[in-house]
Structure 1
Amino acid sequence: MSRAGDLARHYSRFRVADRLLLTGHSHQAWPDVARDAILEAYDDAALAVDEKWGRAQQRAERLRDGVRALLGDPGAAVALGANTHELVVRFLSALDLRTRPRLVTTDGEFHSARRQLDRLAETGLEVVKVPARPVATLAERLAAAVDDRTAAVVVSSVLFETSQLVPGLDGVAAACARTGTELLVDAYHQLGVVPLSVHEAGLTDAWVVGGGYKYLQLGEGNCFLRLPPHADGLRPVITGWYAEFGDLSGSAAGTVAYARGSDRFAGSTYDPTSHYRAARVLDFFAEQGLTPPRLREISLHQRGLLADAFDDLDLPAELVTRDRETPADGFGGFLTLFTAQAARLQAALAECGVLTDSRGPHLRFGPAPYLTDEQLTEAMGMLGEVAAGTR
């Protein structure tokens, strides 16, 4: 099994051994095999021209298999998309918003959902935003907000600003089942750092959206929507012509027909290069033993090391602090520091060669499996220097 130092050699193009890349929660480096896959996509296009699509579909199916494995759901129907927004929009367009004009969400959702839901609220839909904090009672409060006018609940399994896991989503699923409400779970910040089994989590009937741009190292263009078993009963209004492929069903004469399964939520012509890249990287993870349990082990170690290194700095709490109440296993893959000077500290760290990011008062440090303990300690040490004004 690869250690961080050994693993780093597989990322020579991104020079991970020479740079302090602490944006692993936003965009992890790609292994060198990803470049080989991009060249392979070009060569297949040049060789096969229009016949390249058969080869591309093999890579797309490899990506679907990878998603199924990550979700612990080997039989899942998985729709693919370039980004989560297009998949969320197709999902929303399948809801009966005329008779159930109410959507329930939180005030801690990522921008793909937040902006779209805010815009829908401007059109007259009722969008209820439940405060994300305290996270311990979030699921309970979401469940209480669901009624028979609610079309869907949209919630993340890990909050993108704080890295806190949202416990008790099975309770939200139960409330949705009682009222005929759909549940959409954004697992983007969970997959690759916290193992997930949709059945064990009580989310068999939930929709799950996510992508490979962050912890999975798949790069752009590799997002997915896991469909629940009852999805064949829905007809998305936003629909691409790929949804006409396969076994068509569920339409009366003179109405638009839809394929069964994941193709029901398919889009249209796309750039298959991303799926070539994903297929190679998923194989690389398997070769390196980077399974969900192993990735969780690495993540807990690295985040814990960063937290301890931050505490050792003994910086004034009024300048910068962290959540010390949530247990270590209550977080996902990054460390959030709370500071009114997040943007300034991020910029100062970048000048020192430490790449982090900030969202409002949140300064985020995101490790990755190819970083060594020494690199993480050095990066946090730089925070101490910029906070003290010595750098």
Structure 2
Amino acid sequence: MTDLAARLAPHYSRFDVARRLLLTGHSHQAWPDVALAGQIEAFDDAALEADAKWGRAMAKADEVRAGFRRFLGDPAAELALGGNTHELVLRFLSALDLPARPRLVTSDGEFHTLRRQLARLAEEGFEVVRVPAEPAETLSERLALAVDDRTAAVLVSAVLFETARIVPGLGDLARACERRGAQLLVDSYHALGVAPFPLRELPGAWVVGGGYKYLQLGEGNCFLRVPPHAAMLRPVITGWFAEFAELSAGPSPDAVRYPSGAARFAGATYDPTSHYRAARVFGFFAEQGLTGDLLRRVSQRQLARLAARFDALDAPDDLITRDRAAPLTAFGGFLALRSPWAAVLCERLAARGILTDSRGDFLRIGPAPYLSDAQLDTAISALGAELDTLRRTHRPIAS
């Protein structure tokens, strides 16, 4: 496993990962060189086939579905595809009977896709209940307690985007939702390809996610896993691809018809270049043996190294700290360091050529399988130097 980075790095020459300290692996990982070949293939198919390219494009979409199914561990999963999770969440929300069940339950630790849209629905008079995300150990239990007979859906992440904490107990939450007749939507974005995801415990749950982060697919590659009971639902926000197979017979003059399976939640015309790129990357992952299990082991080893090097800096907690109350197995794919100087540290590390990011008081450091141990050590040493500068020039700020 230690030589994996040396084996992989030459395949990422366009991103120059062997010489760059790209520690944004939790947000935007480098793309392997085959991704460019996929984009060129999309152009060539369009040039060759013009509007007839869609048969080839839809074959690529099927390859993308197959790739997501491998990482979900469900070869039969019904998957609707979308350019981003927001459009898929909108289709999901539009299928709910919100007038009859106007209550939505979520956490206060959700990514902005959910946070903003649910806040806007609250402005329109829907009841949005935000359960504190911390402590993560009991989040599923507390969400379950907030579900009542007026609840249309619970929306929660499998891994929290600020802290990297894995949310346990989603299976119990799913059963609580089922008892109340509420839907459960789980955002798997920060789990897929880097952390265990309990899909087998969630047979009736909706799952949204994508490959922009750990799967290296780039933009435009997201999915909605549609559970079997979706056949009873009619999303209000619906694209014409949902009746693609029936267009030869002409659209229904009396009612909007819906197909079975995930096609009920299909969108409309899109840029297929993203699927050509993703199909190539999924193929590369298969060739290199980059399975979900291997990527989890690599991530955990890298996180352990980052955490140990950070702890050795012996920085005061009021300057910067990390969550040491839980084992590293309770975290997803990045090291979250809490500091009132998070944004400043992010900027100063970038000036040194070390790319991280910050969210509020959290500096997020995300490794990737193509990075070497030496690169990780260099990044933490640079962080230590910047912390020393802060200690000399600033008084600590209470977080």
The 5-angstrom pairing of residues 305-384 of structure 1 reads 305-384=305-384
The 5-angstrom pairing of residues 276-295 of structure 1 reads 276-295=276-295
The 5-angstrom pairing of residues 1-391 of structure 1 reads 3-199=4-200, 202-246=201-245, 254-389=254-389
The CA deviation at 1:247 is 6.3
The CA deviation at 1:151 is 0.2
Cα deviation code 1:285-319 (max 9, x no counterpart): 00001001100000000111100010011111110
Distance 1:86-1:372 versus aligned 2 partners, 3 A rule: same
Q: Could you tell me whether the CA contact under 8 Å between 1:173 and 1:183 is conserved in 2?
A: yes
- Opposite residue 170 of structure 2, the aligned amino acid is L
- Counterpart Cα distance in 1 of 2:379 and 2:205: 39
Cα deviation code 1:78-109 (max 9, x no counterpart): 00000000000110000000000000000000
The CA deviation at 1:31 is 0.1
- Counterpart Cα distance in 2 of 1:197 and 1:76: 14
The CA deviation at 1:49 is 0.8
- Counterpart Cα distance in 2 of 1:255 and 1:172: 36
The CA deviation at 1:246 is 2.9
The CA deviation at 1:123 is 0.1
- Counterpart Cα distance in 2 of 1:93 and 1:154: 14
Q: Could you tell me whether the CA contact under 8 Å between 1:70 and 1:197 is conserved in 2?
A: no
Extract unaligned runs of 5+ from structure 2.
393-399
SS at match of 1:275: helix
- Counterpart Cα distance in 1 of 2:370 and 2:157: 26
The CA deviation at 1:261 is 1.1
Partner of 2:396: none
- Counterpart Cα distance in 2 of 1:260 and 1:241: 14
- Opposite residue 299 of structure 2, the aligned amino acid is S
- Opposite residue 71 of structure 2, the aligned amino acid is L
- Opposite residue 219 of structure 1, the aligned amino acid is G
The CA deviation at 1:255 is 1.8
- Counterpart Cα distance in 2 of 1:262 and 1:91: 11
Q: Could you tell me whether the CA contact under 8 Å between 1:101 and 1:150 is conserved in 2?
A: yes
Cα deviation code 1:244-270 (max 9, x no counterpart): 12369xx99822111211111011000
SS at match of 2:162: coil
- Counterpart Cα distance in 2 of 1:197 and 1:278: 24
Q: Could you tell me whether the CA contact under 8 Å between 1:213 and 1:220 is conserved in 2?
A: yes
- Counterpart Cα distance in 2 of 1:121 and 1:197: 30
- Counterpart Cα distance in 2 of 1:253 and 1:17: 59
Q: Could you tell me whether the CA contact under 8 Å between 1:72 and 1:197 is conserved in 2?
A: no
The CA deviation at 1:197 is 4.5
Q: Could you tell me whether the CA contact under 8 Å between 1:358 and 1:364 is conserved in 2?
A: yes
- Counterpart Cα distance in 1 of 2:197 and 2:342: 31
- Counterpart Cα distance in 2 of 1:76 and 1:348: 44
- Opposite residue 151 of structure 1, the aligned amino acid is A
- Opposite residue 127 of structure 1, the aligned amino acid is V
SS at match of 1:13: coil
- Opposite residue 219 of structure 2, the aligned amino acid is E
SS at match of 1:127: strand
With normalisation by structure 2, the TM-score equals: 0.95
The CA deviation at 1:387 is 1.0
The CA deviation at 1:196 is 2.5
- Counterpart Cα distance in 2 of 1:106 and 1:333: 20
Q: Could you tell me whether the CA contact under 8 Å between 1:245 and 1:259 is conserved in 2?
A: no
Aligned residues: 387
The CA deviation at 1:195 is 3.2
- Counterpart Cα distance in 2 of 1:196 and 1:340: 32
With normalisation by structure 1, the TM-score equals: 0.97
SS at match of 1:218: coil
- Counterpart Cα distance in 2 of 1:272 and 1:247: 22
- Counterpart Cα distance in 2 of 1:105 and 1:252: 38
Q: Could you tell me whether the CA contact under 8 Å between 1:245 and 1:263 is conserved in 2?
A: no
- Counterpart Cα distance in 1 of 2:326 and 2:80: 34
- Opposite residue 334 of structure 1, the aligned amino acid is F
Extract unaligned runs of 5+ from structure 1.
none
- Opposite residue 17 of structure 2, the aligned amino acid is V
Q: Could you tell me whether the CA contact under 8 Å between 2:158 and 2:197 is conserved in 1?
A: no
- Counterpart Cα distance in 2 of 1:72 and 1:343: 37
- Counterpart Cα distance in 2 of 1:7 and 1:359: 29
When the two chains are superposed, the root-mean-square deviation of aligned CA atoms in Å is 1.5
SS at match of 2:262: helix
